[in-house]
Structure 1
Amino acid sequence: METTQEKTPVEVRIEPLRGLPLILEVAGGVGRTLGLTLLWGLEIVRDSYFRLLDRLNVRPRHKRASAFPPGQPKKRTASTR
Protein backbone atom coordinates (compact mmCIF):
# COMPACT_ATOMS: atom_id res chain seq x y z
CA MET A 1 0.00 0.00 0.00
CA GLU A 2 1.36 3.36 -0.93
CA THR A 3 0.85 6.40 1.21
CA THR A 4 -0.60 9.53 -0.29
CA GLN A 5 1.92 11.79 1.41
CA GLU A 6 5.35 12.11 -0.09
CA LYS A 7 8.38 12.42 2.12
CA THR A 8 10.32 15.61 1.74
CA PRO A 9 13.75 15.01 0.28
CA VAL A 10 16.64 15.47 2.68
CA GLU A 11 19.90 16.82 1.42
CA VAL A 12 22.87 14.86 2.76
CA ARG A 13 26.35 16.35 2.67
CA ILE A 14 29.33 14.16 3.43
CA GLU A 15 32.34 16.20 4.41
CA PRO A 16 35.66 14.37 4.67
CA LEU A 17 37.57 14.67 7.93
CA ARG A 18 40.89 16.43 7.74
CA GLY A 19 43.62 17.28 10.18
CA LEU A 20 43.14 16.84 13.92
CA PRO A 21 39.58 15.37 13.84
CA LEU A 22 40.80 12.66 11.46
CA ILE A 23 43.74 11.81 13.72
CA LEU A 24 41.47 11.69 16.78
CA GLU A 25 39.00 9.34 15.05
CA VAL A 26 41.77 7.00 13.91
CA ALA A 27 43.41 7.01 17.36
CA GLY A 28 40.05 6.27 19.00
CA GLY A 29 39.46 3.33 16.65
CA VAL A 30 42.92 1.92 17.28
CA GLY A 31 42.42 2.30 21.05
CA ARG A 32 39.10 0.48 20.99
CA THR A 33 40.58 -2.30 18.88
CA LEU A 34 43.53 -2.76 21.22
CA GLY A 35 41.24 -2.76 24.26
CA LEU A 36 38.99 -5.44 22.80
CA THR A 37 42.02 -7.48 21.75
CA LEU A 38 43.34 -7.34 25.31
CA LEU A 39 39.98 -8.43 26.74
CA TRP A 40 39.68 -11.30 24.28
CA GLY A 41 43.22 -12.41 25.07
CA LEU A 42 42.51 -12.39 28.80
CA GLU A 43 39.33 -14.37 28.23
CA ILE A 44 41.26 -16.98 26.24
CA VAL A 45 43.78 -17.32 29.09
CA ARG A 46 40.97 -17.61 31.66
CA ASP A 47 39.15 -20.27 29.63
CA SER A 48 42.37 -22.23 29.17
CA TYR A 49 43.05 -22.10 32.93
CA PHE A 50 39.61 -23.43 33.81
CA ARG A 51 39.86 -26.16 31.15
CA LEU A 52 43.17 -27.22 32.69
CA LEU A 53 41.57 -27.36 36.14
CA ASP A 54 38.76 -29.50 34.69
CA ARG A 55 41.27 -31.84 33.04
CA LEU A 56 43.18 -32.21 36.30
CA ASN A 57 39.86 -32.92 38.02
CA VAL A 58 40.32 -30.11 40.55
CA ARG A 59 37.08 -29.52 42.40
CA PRO A 60 36.14 -26.00 43.52
CA ARG A 61 35.73 -26.77 47.25
CA HIS A 62 35.88 -29.79 49.51
CA LYS A 63 33.40 -28.45 52.03
CA ARG A 64 30.46 -26.11 51.86
CA ALA A 65 31.30 -22.45 51.81
CA SER A 66 29.62 -19.97 54.12
CA ALA A 67 29.00 -16.27 53.72
CA PHE A 68 29.58 -15.78 57.44
CA PRO A 69 33.00 -15.83 59.15
CA PRO A 70 33.72 -18.62 61.64
CA GLY A 71 33.23 -18.05 65.37
CA GLN A 72 30.54 -16.59 67.55
CA PRO A 73 28.52 -13.68 66.20
CA LYS A 74 29.12 -10.30 67.80
CA LYS A 75 26.67 -9.21 70.46
CA ARG A 76 24.48 -6.37 69.24
CA THR A 77 23.37 -3.67 71.61
CA ALA A 78 19.81 -2.44 71.32
CA SER A 79 19.65 1.07 70.01
CA THR A 80 17.42 3.50 71.91
CA ARG A 81 15.41 5.98 69.98
Structure 2
Amino acid sequence: METTQEKAPVEVRIEPLRGLPLALEIAGGIGRTLGLTLLWGLEIVRDAYFRQLDRFNVRPRHKRASAFPPGQAKKQRNTPRR
Protein backbone atom coordinates (compact mmCIF):
# COMPACT_ATOMS: atom_id res chain seq x y z
CA MET A 1 0.00 0.00 0.00
CA GLU A 2 1.55 3.29 -1.08
CA THR A 3 0.98 6.50 0.71
CA THR A 4 1.60 9.76 -1.02
CA GLN A 5 2.36 12.85 0.92
CA GLU A 6 2.22 16.19 -0.77
CA LYS A 7 4.50 18.91 0.41
CA ALA A 8 2.91 22.13 1.45
CA PRO A 9 3.64 24.93 -1.04
CA VAL A 10 6.33 27.31 0.14
CA GLU A 11 6.10 30.95 -0.78
CA VAL A 12 9.41 32.33 -1.99
CA ARG A 13 9.82 36.07 -1.87
CA ILE A 14 12.87 37.66 -3.52
CA GLU A 15 13.60 41.18 -2.42
CA PRO A 16 16.07 43.27 -4.40
CA LEU A 17 19.11 44.66 -2.60
CA ARG A 18 19.32 48.40 -2.15
CA GLY A 19 21.79 50.82 -0.66
CA LEU A 20 24.70 49.57 1.45
CA PRO A 21 24.06 45.79 1.07
CA LEU A 22 24.05 46.23 -2.73
CA ALA A 23 27.31 48.20 -2.61
CA LEU A 24 28.93 45.56 -0.38
CA GLU A 25 27.91 42.75 -2.74
CA ILE A 26 29.30 44.63 -5.73
CA ALA A 27 32.55 45.44 -3.90
CA GLY A 28 32.91 41.80 -2.84
CA GLY A 29 32.41 40.61 -6.40
CA ILE A 30 34.98 43.06 -7.73
CA GLY A 31 37.44 42.01 -5.01
CA ARG A 32 37.05 38.32 -5.81
CA THR A 33 37.47 39.03 -9.52
CA LEU A 34 40.65 41.04 -8.95
CA GLY A 35 42.06 38.37 -6.62
CA LEU A 36 41.47 35.60 -9.15
CA THR A 37 42.93 37.76 -11.92
CA LEU A 38 46.07 38.30 -9.82
CA LEU A 39 46.42 34.58 -9.12
CA TRP A 40 45.95 33.67 -12.78
CA GLY A 41 48.52 36.29 -13.78
CA LEU A 42 51.04 34.91 -11.31
CA GLU A 43 50.39 31.41 -12.61
CA ILE A 44 51.07 32.57 -16.18
CA VAL A 45 54.38 34.15 -15.08
CA ARG A 46 55.36 30.99 -13.17
CA ASP A 47 54.59 28.77 -16.16
CA ALA A 48 56.59 31.03 -18.48
CA TYR A 49 59.53 30.97 -16.04
CA PHE A 50 59.62 27.18 -15.85
CA ARG A 51 59.17 26.95 -19.62
CA GLN A 52 62.29 29.12 -20.01
CA LEU A 53 64.22 26.91 -17.60
CA ASP A 54 63.24 23.88 -19.67
CA ARG A 55 64.23 25.65 -22.89
CA PHE A 56 67.68 26.54 -21.46
CA ASN A 57 68.02 22.94 -20.25
CA VAL A 58 68.47 23.98 -16.61
CA ARG A 59 68.13 20.93 -14.41
CA PRO A 60 67.27 20.76 -10.72
CA ARG A 61 70.12 20.74 -8.25
CA HIS A 62 71.96 17.48 -7.79
CA LYS A 63 72.47 17.84 -4.05
CA ARG A 64 69.48 17.46 -1.79
CA ALA A 65 68.29 20.78 -0.48
CA SER A 66 67.94 21.28 3.24
CA ALA A 67 65.54 23.40 5.22
CA PHE A 68 68.30 24.10 7.74
CA PRO A 69 71.12 26.62 7.14
CA PRO A 70 74.68 25.32 6.85
CA GLY A 71 77.00 25.47 9.82
CA GLN A 72 77.05 24.37 13.42
CA ALA A 73 73.66 23.97 15.06
CA LYS A 74 72.90 26.35 17.91
CA LYS A 75 72.74 24.89 21.37
CA GLN A 76 69.23 24.75 22.75
CA ARG A 77 68.52 26.13 26.21
CA ASN A 78 66.44 23.89 28.40
CA THR A 79 63.31 25.85 29.14
CA PRO A 80 60.58 24.49 31.38
CA ARG A 81 57.43 23.39 29.59
CA ARG A 82 54.13 24.93 30.53
Please, what TM-score do these two structures have when normalized by structure 1?
Answer: 0.76
Shift of 1:49: 0.3
- Note the 1:1-81 alignment, pairs <5 A: 4-66=4-66
What's the RMSD between the two structures over aligned residues?
A: 2.4
Shift of 1:60: 1.1
Cα deviation 1:15-57 (Å, max 9, x = unaligned): 0001111011000000000000000000110011011101111
Q: 1:32 to 1:67 in 2, by over 3 A?
A: closer
* Structure with the larger RCO, 1 or 2 (CA within 8 Å, 6+ apart): 2
Percent identical across equivalent pairs?
Answer: 88
Secondary structure of the 2:41 match is helix
The runs of 5 or more residues in structure 2 that have no matched partner are: 77-82
The runs of 5 or more residues in structure 1 that have no matched partner are: 77-81
Q: Which residue identity is paired with 2:38?
A: L
Shift of 1:66: 4.5
Please, what TM-score do these two structures have when normalized by structure 2?
Answer: 0.75
